[in-house]
Amino acid sequence: MKSKNAFVEFEADEPGSSPEVLELNIISGGCRLYGYLLLPDKRIGGPYPAVIMSHGFPGYTTNNDLELALMRTGCAVIHMNHRGAWGSEGNYLFTNLKDDLIAIAKWVHNPAIAEQYDIDTDNIFLAGHSMGGQTVLNAAKELPFIRGVAALAAYDIGAAFRYKLEKDLFLMIETEGQCLKMNSAGEVYENALNNRFELSILNGAEKLAEHNLLLVEASHDTVAPADKMLVPLYEKLKTMNASVSYESIPSGHSFAGQRMKLTKILSEWMERTIEQNNRKSAE
């Protein structure tokens, strides 16, 4: 991939070479997850690194700009909606998120799928914003083949309870979660409460330390304050000598005014990680 192309387009599309947007549905927990696959312009030679994007709660802050920018750099980009979200089947529960992402990652890593879409299975990345940041960190603990994990303004349910933010969490579920398919806000909250230790990004951090990691905080974040939700993980990973990069962007939780800076940080980190892996493979 070439990170410098994140903001650069070809002068014109060519028939037969244009980027593709392909609808997808992938089974997780017996439910169909709906989403799409972005494939780069065929004038960019494959095989293509792949990045799986995980949306937040409930997903109002989209990452379509990041996805299209990464496609322009030469990545295949997978966007899937979790169970109970944005038309996907099933009910939304926090404990489903990790399992959904694991199912998607294994689908991408499948040799038949990789061959069909010219995906480089040695360079599969996970990237998630907010609750999606928690999701990619937790899923990576069970996916040894993942090349790198990027958590952007990651929310941590474990920290929400440790720092007595549970009322804010319930309000978020009750109000923002109205677009989700769920039996009740109370059930989703109880799912968080009863599984808060398992869901915490600090749980099993030693498995995360086996991956290349990018943590990006929004320094004005009041939804997922970094000092409570992201910095503790970073400090823990440093004691393990993990390969972790930490970036701070002066922005609110959505990075709404700093999206290009976020794109630059993410794409350059991915490019460096791939280059480092290629050098190690050549040694």
Question: pLDDT per position in the chain (283 positions), as tens?
Answer: 999 999 999 999 999 999 999 999 999 999 999 999 999 999 999 999 999 999 999 988 889 999 999 999 999 999 999 999 999 999 999 999 999 999 999 999 999 999 999 999 999 999 999 999 999 999 999 999 999 999 999 999 999 999 999 999 999 999 999 999 999 999 999 999 999 999 999 999 999 999 999 999 999 999 999 999 999 999 999 999 999 999 999 999 999 999 999 999 999 999 999 999 888 777 7
Backbone conformation region of residue 84, classed left if phi is above 0, alpha if psi is from -120 to 50, else beta? left
Q: What is the CATH number for 23?
A: 3.40.50.1820
Tokens, residue 88: 């996907």
Q: Is residue 257 part of a domain?
A: yes
Q: How far from chain centre, in Å, is Cα 118? A: 21
Q: Is residue 151 part of a domain?
A: yes
What pLDDT does residue 282 have?
Answer: 78
What pLDDT does residue 60 have?
Answer: 86
Q: Is residue 7 part of a domain?
A: no
What pLDDT does residue 48 have?
Answer: 97
Q: Is residue 102 part of a domain?
A: yes
Q: Is residue 10 part of a domain?
A: no
Strand residue runs (E) in 55-191: 76-80, 119-129, 148-152
Tokens, residue 225: 């304050």
Per the DSSP assignment, residues forming a β-bridge with 218 are 249
Segment holding 65, helix H or strand E: helix 64-73
pTM: 0.95
Looking at the 3D structure of the chain, how many domains does it have? 1
Q: Give the residue carrying structure tokens 């004038």.
A: 43
Q: Is residue 143 part of a domain?
A: yes
Q: Which amino acid is at 146?
A: I
User: The domain containing residue 174 runs over which residues?
Assistant: 17-282
